[in-house]
Amino acid sequence: MAESGAVLAADIGGTKIAAGVVEPGGRLVTWTQVPTPRDGDAEQLWRALESVLDQVLNVAKISDLADLAGLGCGCGGPIEWPAGLVSPLNIPGWRAFPLRDRLADRYPGIPVRVHNDAICMAAGEHWRGAGRGWRNVLGMVVSTGVGGGLILDNRLIVGASGNAGHIGHVVVDPEDGPVCVCGGRGCLEAIASGLTLAAWAQAEGWRPGQPGMTAKDLAGDAAQGHPVGRAAMRRAGRALGIAIASATNLCDLQVVSVGGGLSQAGALLFDPLQEALAAHARLDFAREVRVVPAALGQSAGLVGAAALVLAGERYWTGD
């Protein structure tokens, strides 16, 4: 293992599996991604991950794993941590899948660290992004699902089981909200995730009879002025703002960094978010919070996964 080497990083979500190589300073030098095999079984998912990891090693011309400082991996939650058994809500093919052990077997001789994808994103944004220099930061991944990770008083918070920060399952509408994939009702994720947002829009008459439409298409239509698209983005933004106001009141946050695929919708999502936040974060300390798009953009998850190794003294307390 090379103390000063680069890190092989992976970021596994319900839509895409990304891999990259991150330099010790935090620069992502090469990356690639593949779609997460829909309805893939455990081994198909594993092969997709293996293929992107091998691909970036090839492109970066790393043939000897000993040149790496380690491997960091973020995966959708929940997760048994630090053992790294993963059961991502939006990847049904993996239930208690031993991701950390499988990675350690396949890429031997280097430290392998696995965390929740949004915890990685929060670490990345705190280390090298919008949260840099701030002591109290929430990082959010608004993507296929909705995840979060907390840095409080400059420390990454893992909670009792490694699952702290799951803001996607904070309840924002218990009466009229939809049933959530977690089994609850009215969770943020049931309203503001890419999957649930597209489903809601279709139920409201958006692009009837066109299967396979995603939140990306919906955001595109909203940008063109489609009324259902605009309503969907408002609904999601509002739910995000309400949840962020609650989190801010609870944790006295300074910065909330919002990343993930859906965050690319920009003002369509952020304007209603800020409006709902202003309506619900009323106490003087809470009004100070700044909600911003992830400074590392779509690479925050990979940079954060690498930070588990490259800045392990700050972001890894697992073993």
Q: Which residues of 237-249 are buried (b: 16+ CB within 10 A; e: fewer)?
A: bbbbbbbbbbbbb
C-alpha 135 chain-centroid distance = 20
In the complex, least distance from residue 274 CB atom to ligand ADP, rounded to whole angstroms: 17
The answer to whether the CB of 36 falls within 8 A of the CB of 16 is yes
Q: Which uninterrupted H or E stretch holds 34?
A: strand 28-35
User: Does residue number 182 form part of the binding site for Zn ion (CB under 5 A)?
Assistant: yes
Binding site partner of 180, from ligand ADP, Zn ion, none, Cβ cut-off 5-8 A by kind: Zn ion
Q: Which is nearer to ligand ADP, 14 or 129 (CB)?
A: 14
Q: Which residues of 101-117 are buried (b: 16+ CB within 10 A; e: fewer)?
A: ebbbeebeebbbbbbbb
Binding site partner of 187, from Zn ion, ligand ADP, none, Cβ cut-off 5-8 A by kind: Zn ion
| Antiparallel, parallel or unpaired: β 85-86 and 255-259 | unpaired
| x/- map, 3-42, ligand ADP, by CB under 6 A | ----------xxxx-------------------x------
Q: Which is nearer to ligand ADP, 136 or 196 (CB)?
A: 196
In the complex, least distance from residue 88 CB atom to Zn ion, rounded to whole angstroms: 13
| x/- map, 231-270, ligand ADP, by CB under 6 A | -----------------------------xxx-xx-----
Give the span between the Cα atoms of 187 and 242, in whole angstroms.
Answer: 11
Binding site partner of 184, from Zn ion, ligand ADP, none, Cβ cut-off 5-8 A by kind: Zn ion
Q: What are phi and psi of 211, to 5 degrees?
A: -70, 160
The answer to whether the CB of 85 falls within 8 A of the CB of 75 is no
Binding site partner of 13, from Zn ion, ligand ADP, none, Cβ cut-off 5-8 A by kind: ligand ADP
Give the span between the Cα atoms of 253 and 241, in whole angstroms.
Answer: 14
| x/- map, 122-161, Zn ion, by CB under 5 A | ----------------------------------------
- Helix crossing, 267-280 with 227-251: angle to 10°? 40
Binding site partner of 314, from ligand ADP, Zn ion, none, Cβ cut-off 5-8 A by kind: none
Amino acid residing at 209: G
Q: Which is nearer to ligand ADP, 5 or 147 (CB)?
A: 147
Q: Which is nearer to ligand ADP, 186 or 261 (CB)?
A: 261
The single-letter DSSP state of residue 286 is H
Token pair recorded at residue 88: 């991502």
Binding site partner of 16, from ligand ADP, Zn ion, none, Cβ cut-off 5-8 A by kind: ligand ADP
